[in-house]
Amino acid sequence: MNGIATTAVRYIKLGPGGAWFDRCIREGLLEVGHATVGHDLASAGDWDAVRAAFAGNNPTKASDFTRELRDVYTLPDTALWITIGQGRLWWAFAEPEVFAVSGEGRGVRARNVIGKWSSQDQKSRPLLLDGLSTRLTKVAAYRQTLCKVEHADYLLRRINGIEEPAVVTARAAQTQMVASARALIEALDWRDFEVMTDLIFAQSGWRRVSAVGGSDQADTDLVLEQAATGERAMVQVKSSATQGVVDDYLARFLRGGFSRGFLVCHSPRSAISAPADAAFHLWLGDRLAEQAMAAGLLPWLIEKNC
């Protein structure tokens, strides 16, 4: 795998309920509590003695707590550590040395991270929780201090900015489907093209308040209303168009008092464009095909072309 690699992956909760998270991220620390066992005892590596110390206070958790401290003191600098906070996943490697810390609201021991905590992948994209699989982010529900991370292969792909194999396959299939839908749209009779456009808007929550292709509005083929927002839109449907057609329809939109304007065209005769800030939208080529697919019209398109 290109990018970072690791010999182990651990999730760590930085303080009770994440209370130390902000400071640890800011200061570049991997900080751990477990005050029952002091730094000197843990650093000696006598894990039977550590377990016995934990058992005196909490026998049911003694083995778990011992495992956690052993990981903190023995995992090398090639181990990857992750934590969760501020709506993101954070990751870092840590220096192997463990040192004692003290003070109110602090843990007992810590390691310095190498460099700093990062919440971005290797392509500088944020690792937002809502963009990550629950199979990974569910680790935040772990109630103790640290644990192994399942699906480490998925985690490393995300940090390295590598798409999941299934996603790569799905994107290729989606691209082919868009190309197929575009070809089917381009083959439509103009009357069916107008009906398809009306169906797309209807599936998107727009309500038609004019006849298709026969509107009493001189400047548009369709007049639409969005009940939820009160917006009104004018829609012009063209099998082909030039930049002159775009400019003419844009001028009609700007003087028409509508909230939005749409020019829907499957086969422009040349490169055409519209201002990005005018609430005026061009639906052409692949974008139009994607809109039709999002509206569930692929079976309809196939039937119309049979």
Query: What are the distances in angstroms from CA 52 to CA 36, 62, 122, 143, 241?
Result: 11, 8, 43, 22, 81
Torsion of Cα atoms, 195 then 200 then 201 then 202, to 10°: 80
Give me the domains of the chain, ranges plus CATH numbers.
8-159 (3.10.590), 178-305 (3.40.1350.10)
The 10s digit of each residue's pLDDT in 199-218 is 999 998 899 887 655 444 55
Judge contact between 207 and 230, C-beta under 8 A.
Answer: no
**Sign of dihedral through CA atoms 156, 158, 161, 163?**
positive
pLDDT of residue 70: 95
Judge contact between 37 and 64, C-beta under 8 A.
Answer: no
Integer Cα distance of 279 and 282 in angstroms: 10
Contacts of 93 (CB under 8 A, 6+ apart): 6, 77, 78, 79, 80, 81, 113, 114, 115
pLDDT of residue 211: 64
Integer Cα distance of 16 and 35 in angstroms: 12
Integer Cα distance of 153 and 1 in angstroms: 10
Judge contact between 236 and 221, C-beta under 8 A.
Answer: yes
**Owner of token pair 């021991």:** 109
Long-range pairs of 105-109 with CB within 8 A, sequence gap ≥ 24:
105/19, 105/20, 106/20, 106/31, 107/15, 107/20, 107/31, 107/32, 107/33, 108/32, 108/33, 108/34, 108/35, 108/37, 108/38, 108/39, 109/31, 109/32, 109/39, 109/42, 109/72
Judge contact between 21 and 82, C-beta under 8 A.
Answer: no
CA angle 136, 26, 71 (to 5 degrees): 50
Q: Are strands 222-226 and 109-112 parallel, antiparallel or unpaired?
A: unpaired
pLDDT of residue 80: 96
Q: Return per-residue pLDDT of the chain as tens, 306 residues.
A: 458 889 999 999 999 988 999 999 999 999 999 999 999 999 999 999 999 999 988 888 899 999 999 999 999 999 999 999 999 999 999 999 999 998 888 999 999 999 999 999 999 999 999 999 888 888 877 778 888 888 899 999 999 998 888 888 999 999 999 999 999 999 999 899 999 999 999 998 899 887 655 444 556 788 999 888 889 999 999 999 999 999 999 998 888 889 999 999 999 988 999 888 779 999 999 999 999 999 999 999 999 998
The 10s digit of each residue's pLDDT in 123-167 is 999 999 999 988 888 887 777 888 888 889 999 999 999 888 888
